[in-house]
Structure 1
Amino acid sequence: MAQTFTWNAGSVAMAFSYDAESPVTVPSIVMKGIEVVFPHRVPIVEINTVGDGHRLSCNKLTHTVLGQTLRYRRHREESNGSRKALTIELAAPDHGIAVFVRYEVDGSAAMVRTETTVVNENSVEPVILDSITSWTSSFGAPQGGGADMRSWNLTEGAYDWLAEGRWRTTPIADLLPAIGQELTNVDPRQQHAVISSGTWSTGRFAPLGILESRELGLTWLFQIEHNGAWRWDVQDDTVDGVIALAGPTSENHNWERVLRQGESFTAVPVSFTVGCDFDAVIANVTDYRRAMRSPHRDNDEPRVVFNDYMNTLYGDPTTAKELPLIKAAGEIGVEIFVIDCGWYDDSGDWWPSVGEWIPSATRFPGEKGIVEVIDAIRDAGMVPGIWLEPEVIGVKSPMAWKLPDSAFFQRHGQRVVEQDRYILDLRDRAARAHLDAVIDRLVNEYGIGYFKMDYNVSPGAGTDYRADSPGEGLLGHNRAYCAWVDDVRRRHPDVILENCSSGGMREDFAQLSRFQVQSTSDQQDYRLYPAIASSALMMALPEQSANWAYPQADMTLEQAAFNINTTFLGRFFLSGYINRMDAEQHALTAAGIDAYKRYVQPVVGKARPFWPLGLPEWTDTVVAVGLDAGATALVTVWNRDGGGSAVDLAMPRWSARDALVEQVFPEPSATFSRWSADWDSGTGTLSVDVPAGGYVSRTFRLTFV
């Protein structure tokens, strides 16, 4: 006889069903009053091993023998403050394994984090893991409705260096067409698999997807919380679609884990939420990200950052070049000044010399050396910051031969080299000790309060040194890196950490939950950046999203304002030769920072993003993004050589409410025209007249009554 129990955690309720002949499944989930039921049920976990394989031959993450074989053993609930957890213990006695599926909910967010642990309890033969899901679910239907797989649309993100966050929406019917599988009485092999390899977790695709069915009134958002290799699938199970989320797999990532008797392995964490529409799940994941990230005093009101790299020094810092930039930054209200790459290099080639992290005496001459620059930053009222690429050692760095081979990624006994860098393996004690000494020296001796942590290479499958497979070595390093960051935070709790990986190549929540700042791109063309800047809020919180603004002395005032608006609704992130600006340009940049501090900084740490024109296409001529701050909203509109007509910005959240509309940057003046912006409370629409041609932008604040 089937048994059912329900787990209640904050605004989440999950029902589970099981019996002696069937695996554990989920009959229903409720989040914030939105209920989804599952006419087609799938096991809560799927595990593929060398010795068991699939029950239906395919390369799906699902349809595994163990997924169908595992049976309920017991469950337990835990509470810790606002967090609640449920662990369901499963067993496959004939296979000698136990499995623990853990669910966690924070009371402030309608989203579930889940992960799977496999234990070899008593199998004398090793259990060789090929893949493990941390979450599987069918698409489901509203209470009283039937499943309709082909009514859903999938939104997914494509990434590349300089072209991050290109989101597209595709009907499931196009991805998984009807192929007459009903005649075979067997689920088809077809699936839409999204796969990331190496250490750039967003190097090609986003570890996040959204499934939306307007016909059913349901929307899923799911994400994989891992800074390495991962895979997620959307599959065809004939009567309904299925979602499956996993970390590295044997087939895709050269990953295997061998469990000998008594050993265990925990798969990467993932999370999911369900709501009535796109805006609802974005609100849920925003709340979740704030609830689950590391606390820091900089989270609520993020400080303004200047970095000397982008379209400025390009890795060639010197005392003579930095001091004028520092003076200008202090004058316009910058709060953090970051010295980027090259500060350690005497050779003139900063790329292969990274790793020892000793300040250059050539670049910073004189008795005080780099301390002269750091003192100037502090004297100007700013926090000194510095660039590191901690996970690599350049082939020309002295540290390449001071550290043992065990400190580096290896395959078949040879160090892995990628673009003139060796890759540090942070599973190794010597590697961690070196980086700990670097961080402690820079904080304690130089007073560094901000680290930009970059990562510009990816080492392929991983390292087979002290690992069952290269993919397992990579996974171990990924986790060791996160643990190392956590330890840095424990030792230096006030230091601000920025995550940069060749721009936005690691915008995963394993990283974003640990860092206060996320660099979103290395894009140097200000005309292209708005599509990246607005889309970045799909992966990062507004207060984390560091979109470069690099106004220059040779730009018009409108072009400079366009640049500043690109960073305005996030973490204000400035570069450019601000010391070369004339009085008007200098005043405009200072006005942008002042407006940010007045209108954005006080609310950005609590606001939720929205897209009044939908997520942008890469080539859209008009792009818009907004921040929902409750009683107020901020909206930035960019015109990229288009416009010439009224653009209707959908803001239904505030329909039936009157609004005061202000143009807050750039403010209307003899230089900057006021764009007509009319609020229609009946439809919740802001109609903005966007002028034709040029690259121009305005930010509006709406105050609702």
Structure 2
Amino acid sequence: MGSVSHSPGDIVIQWQPPGLSLQISLDDQLAPCIDHVLPAGHEPPINVSPHFASSKLPLNGVRVAGQGHTTNKTAKAMVGGVLSSRLRYQHHVERQDGTTFTLAIVSCDNILGIEVTHTFVVFAGIPVLRSWSTLRNLSSAFMTIMQALSLSIGGLTSGTRSWSESYSVWTAHNTWFREAQWQESSLPDVGIDDVGLLELNDGHRATMARFSVSNQGSLSTETHLPMGAVARKDGLDTWLWQIEHNGSWRWEIGDWQDGLYVAAGGPTQADHAWEAVLRPGETFMSVPVALCRVADSLEEAFATLTDYRRCLLRPHVDYERLPIVFNDYMNCLMGDPTEEKIHALLEPVRGCGAEYFVIDAGWYADDSKWWDDVGAWEPSQKRFPSGFKALLDGIRAKGLIPGLWLEPEVVGTRSVVAKQLPNSAFFQQRGQRLEERGRYQLDFSQRVVCEHLDRVVDRLVRDFGVGYFKFDYNIDVMTGTDADVTRGVSTGAAHLAHHRAYLQWVKDLMSRHDGLVIENCSSGAQRMDYAMLSVHTLQSTSDQQNPLFYAAIAAACPTAVVPEQGASWAYPQRRWSDEINVVTMINSLLGRVHLSGRPDDLEPAQYELVRQAMQVYRDVIRKKLRTARPFWPLGIPRWHDEWIALGLASAEGTLLLAVWRRSGSTKCSLPLPQQYRNLRTVSLLYPAKFEAQIELEEGGLSIELPAVPCARLLQISPQLNQAAVYEEV
């Protein structure tokens, strides 16, 4: 194995790719630790603690079977393990590939014979650190890994006295119909207080205090987004992170010496029944975690993370065109499509300006009792007596690209496919297929599953000309198959293997079918993570059917997904007032449009409101989405806010601003970001002829709207725009 001799202070790694500065040094056990992560041009803080020299935390949060803790952090904590402090620095390597910069730090424990390579990636000009670790068994015996963190850093609050009062923690609830809802909590309210550190006896580095957020199961963002933030209350310092995994994960914060730490990663043995058994020479790579650091507000951190997320996207023609997608589900056919109903929709949909027509659930079933019978994915002859191919040909004849809803990861318990595929194709539990809500979960780590779904998708693309798939997923499986437990594969490891294999299957699918668009949907947005979004083209943001509730979701979703991927529903209804129909249209305009509702049933004036919204999107908005950065003049939206506002700052300096009034006062002041306060031209972009009193004022603008729930879309620019064009269309 070899060994390298170092002393504390011998090694200080100064890594400064464009946009970010990272310093790593060795602690008194010779373990590498991150000293600081800083946006370019900022100096490290001065230590103000009279008790601790620093808040160094070992970089590698690794645990193996039989290894416990060395500190008074309990075994429940993700930090403080014996092995973490024994993984001693060996060497490091820096690389550059175009605008991508990489630093790899190799550490080794000669007692157990394990090597850890910690990899950092930075995209030029973006102060976001992408991080993961790769473990290698150098010994001659089997080794069982219980935890492999992707990120571990102390000193988040260095340089700040009374930091538990100066900083707060942000978390995001993400439940069905109520996605991306952020909450701010004080550190003492989550059990972390720097006052207790003053009473520590000599030799203690921390209290037992910690706060964690985790997910278990196959719905990676059900309950919480895999994100968190620690922000200074005066808006001068923010740490924001995301875990890029489509399965189980956990992050935690806590005190460490005189400061706050964050640790994050994928599944662990303690939380998710995950273990990785490495044979001699075998490796394991943890899931990526991204950490953003800005000397600014949380709002700026979200904008910076938006820049970073764009670097992860799989190149696709869809991002050049950003077409309007009509889907026949939400407040429309609701899973009951027929040939007659679809034909009635085609001309109104085309007239609105849509470019895709997606047939949602039900196209494969003769009646509504299809939930536990899915899996064959053959079109219903009863619903489409003239033939499904003829229907899709008719969609193309209208100038629309046809798409289909598909739930590829499950097979209904009554499906013929459940009898055709072997037991090994499905998740198993104690020798039985795992059944969840009338479905069996397919295991994509099995080649027979990928081959089966390849045939399904290839047939639909080849024989029917499908150009768009909405991949849905509506069950939650807590852990993986136990079919290989006797061979040393834990259920958590099996789950992770399945999740990674599914992503690879989607990548292969899109490589094979150039231009195919695949939407990520899981009961709305219950897998809105950047493992899925780096592969899939766009993201459904919710299944919420009430447009006034949806406003809080649509306005908050840019915290979780870039605007050119985040698809929110616009579903106008004849029974709704013009103002409510405007609300539902504006819900979708500052992202990807998912048009639905009943355009075939609207009054002419209502239909014209829809058509005007789509023209504004095509002519003004979508060309700005790929470079736009979000901001929130009224703060990150909360579920019951009376007024909500979302802005997009385009690359050329023009602002788009959506404003919703749901209740309360009819007048609201909207401060603008400091760098945009010189913009002096504001116009009502949509609906151009509706009532709105708008005035520019010092630091922003004020708006007065009717005393009913309503919404308006504004454009703010340094020069006169052509809003009058939309008044005449």
TM-score range, shorter chain: over 0.9
Match status 1:157 vs 2:176: no
Residue 689 (1) aligns with residue 711 (2): no
Contact 1:678 / 1:686 at 8 angstroms: preserved in 2?
A: yes
Give the partner amino acid of 2:139.
N
Secondary structure of the residue aligned to 2:146 is: strand
User: What is the DSSP-based 3-state SS (H/G/I as helix, E as strand, rest coil) of the residue aligned with 1:299?
Assistant: helix
Distance in 2 (alpha carbons) for counterparts of 1:296 and 1:83: 20
Distance in 2 (CA, whole Å) between partners of 1:375 and 1:68 is 64
Q: Are 1:590 and 2:611 matched, yes or no?
A: yes
3-state DSSP of counterpart to 1:601? helix
Q: Distance in 2 between matches of 1:211 and 1:423?
A: 37
Instruction: Please state whether the residue corresponding to 2:311 is helix, strand or coil.
Output: helix
State the partner residue of 1:71. Answer: 88
Q: Which residues in structure 2 correspond to 1:541-580 (within 5 Å)?
A: 541-580=562-601
Q: Which position in structure 1 is the counterpart of 2:271?
A: 252
Q: What is the CA deviation profile of residues 79-127 of structure 1, one whole-angstrom value per residue up to 9, with x for unaligned ones?
A: 2222121111100001111111011112253212111111111152x32
Distance 1:336 1:566 in 2: 19
Q: Tell me, yes or no, if the aligned pair for 1:28 and 1:35 is still in contact at 8 Å.
A: no
Aligned partner of residue 547 in structure 2, secondary structure? coil
Q: 1:17 is matched with which residue?
A: 25
Instruction: Indicate conservation of the 8 Å contact 1:225/1:269, yes or no.
Output: yes
| 1:336 maps to 2:356 | yes
Q: Is 1:650 the counterpart of 2:682 in the alignment?
A: no
Q: Is the 8 A contact 1:34 1:274 kept in 2?
A: no
2:311 to 291, 298, 321: 291
Q: Where does 1:300-319 land on structure 2 (aligned, <5 Å)?
A: 300-319=320-339
- 2:152 corresponds, among 123, 130, 136, to 136
**SS of corresponding position for 2:118:** strand
Distance 1:8 1:307 in 2: 47
| Residue 609 to residue 19, structure 1, CA distance change in 2 (3 Å) | closer
Tell me which residue corresponds to 1:435: 453
For residue 242 of structure 1, what is the aligned residue in structure 2? 261
Deviation per CA, 1:220-252, whole angstroms, max 9, x where unpaired? Answer: 111100000000001122511110001011111
Separation of aligned partners in 2, 1:499 and 1:487 = 16
Task: Supply the distance in 1 between the matched residues of 2:717 and 2:504 (Cα, whole angstroms).
Answer: 43
| Correspondence for 2:716 | 702
Q: How does 1:658-669 map to 2 (within 5 A)?
A: 658-668=679-689
Shift of 1:493: 2.5
CA distance in 2, matches of 1:535, 1:658: 24
Name 2:3's counterpart in structure 1. Answer: none
Distance 1:168 1:65, change over 3 A: same
CA offset digits 1:397-428 (Å, max 9, x no partner): 11111111111111221111110000010000
C-alpha contact 1:197 1:230 (8 A) present in aligned 2: yes
Is 1:510 matched with 2:531? Answer: yes
SS at match of 2:606: helix
Contact residue 155 and residue 170 of structure 1 kept, 8 A: yes
Residue matched to 1:614: 635
Tell me how far 1:453 sits from its aligned partner: 0.5
Contact 2:157 2:259 in 1 (8 A): no
Q: Distance in 1 between matches of 2:86 and 2:165?
A: 30
CA deviation profile, 1:542-569 (whole Å, cap 9, x unmatched): 1111111110111121111111011111
- Cα deviation for residue 299 of structure 1 reads 1.2
**Residue 580 of structure 1, CA deviation:** 0.9
Cα pair 1:108 1:287 within 8 Å, conserved: no
Question: AA paired with 1:279?
Answer: E
Q: Contact conserved, 1:610 with 1:625, CA < 8 A, in 2? A: yes
Please report how far the alpha carbon of residue 215 of structure 1 lies from its aligned counterpart in structure 2 after TM superposition: 5.0
Look up the equivalent residue of 1:700 and give its one-letter code: L
Cα distance change, pair 282–22 in 1 and its aligned pair in 2 (3 A): same
Residue identity matched to 2:662: R
Amino acid at match of 2:709: Y
Rounded Cα–Cα distance in structure 2 between residues aligned with 1:348 and 1:217:
55
- Whether the 8 Å CA contact 1:36–1:141 is kept in 2: the answer is no
SS of aligned partner of 1:51: coil
- Where 1:427 maps in the other structure, the secondary structure is coil
User: Counterpart of 2:106 in structure 1: which amino acid?
Assistant: E
TM-score, normalised by the number of residues in structure 2 = 0.92
Residue 378 of structure 1: aligned partner? 396
Q: Do the aligned partners of 2:12 and 2:23 also contact (CA within 8 Å) in 1?
A: yes
Q: Which residue pairs with 2:121 in the alignment?
A: 104
Give the counterpart of 1:207 among 219, 223, 226. 226
Where does residue 33 of structure 1 map in the other structure?
41
For residues 279 and 298 of structure 1, what CA distance do their matches in structure 2 show? Answer: 27
- In the TM superposition, residue 314 of structure 1 has moved relative to its aligned partner by 1.2
| Partner SS, residue 490 of structure 1 | helix
2:659, 2:711 within 8 Å by CA — same for their partners in 1? Answer: yes
Quick one: distance in 1 between partners of 2:28 and 2:581? 68
Aligned to 2:378: 358
**Cα distance, 1:559–1:506 mapped onto 2, change above 3 Å:** same
CA distance in 2: counterparts of 1:610 and 1:350, whole angstroms: 43
Deviations 1:644-682 (A, max 9, x none): 223334332312x132111011112xxx21x112223x4
Contact 2:192 2:210 in 1 (8 A): no
- Identity in percent: 36
Partner residue in 1 for 2:214: 195
How far did 1:147 drift? 8.1
**Contact residue 39 and residue 295 of structure 2 kept, 8 A:** no
Q: Any idea what SS the aligned residue of 1:233 has?
A: strand
Amino acid paired to 2:554: A
Asked whether 1:483 is paired with 2:504, we answer yes
Is residue 287 of structure 2 the alignment partner of residue 268 of structure 1? Answer: yes
Q: Which amino acid aligns with 2:583?
A: F
**1:182 Cα deviation after fit:** 4.0
Gap change, CA 1:686 and 1:651, over 3 Å in 2: farther
CA gap 1:216/1:503 in 2 versus in 1, 3 angstroms: closer
CA distance in 1, matches of 2:133, 2:679: 49
Q: What residue ranges of structure 1 are gaps of 5+ in the alignment? A: none
Residue 87 to residue 601, structure 1, CA distance change in 2 (3 Å): same
Q: 1:216 to 1:648 in 2, by over 3 A?
A: closer
Q: Which amino acid aligns with 2:219?
A: W
- Report the Cα distance in structure 1 between the residues aligned to 2:160 and 2:575, rounded to whole angstroms: 61
Local SS of the residue matching 2:13: strand
CA contact (8 A) 2:157 2:260 kept: no
Q: 1:640 aligns with which of 652, 657, 662?
A: 662
In the other structure, the counterpart of 2:417 is: 399
Give the conservation status (yes or no) of the 8 Å contact 1:640–1:695.
Answer: yes
Separation in 2, partners of 1:542, 1:35:
33
Structure 2: which 5+ residue stretches go unaligned?
1-6, 48-53, 720-729
Partner of 2:443: 425
Q: Contact 2:26–2:33 (CA<8 Å) still a contact in 1?
A: yes
1:387 matched to which residue of 2?
405
Which amino acid is 2:147 matched to? Answer: S
Q: Report the Cα distance in structure 1 between the residues aligned to 2:155 and 2:636, rounded to whole angstroms.
A: 23
Q: CA, structure 1 residues 147+75, in 2 after alignment: closer, same or farther (shift >3 Å)?
A: farther
Task: Number of aligned residue pairs: give it.
Answer: 693
Structure 2 CA distance for aligned equivalents of residues 116 and 306 of structure 1: 42
Going from structure 1 to structure 2, the CA distance change for 1:395 and 1:433 (only over 3 Å counts) comes to same
- Which residue is equivalent to 1:84? 101
Which letter maps to 2:145? L
* Equivalent residue, structure 1, for 2:244: 225
**Alignment-derived partner of residue 528 in structure 1:** 549
Distance 1:159 1:429 in 2: 33
CA distance in 1, matches of 2:511, 2:170: 37
| Counterpart secondary structure, 2:122 | strand
Structure 2 equivalent of residue 95 of structure 1: 112
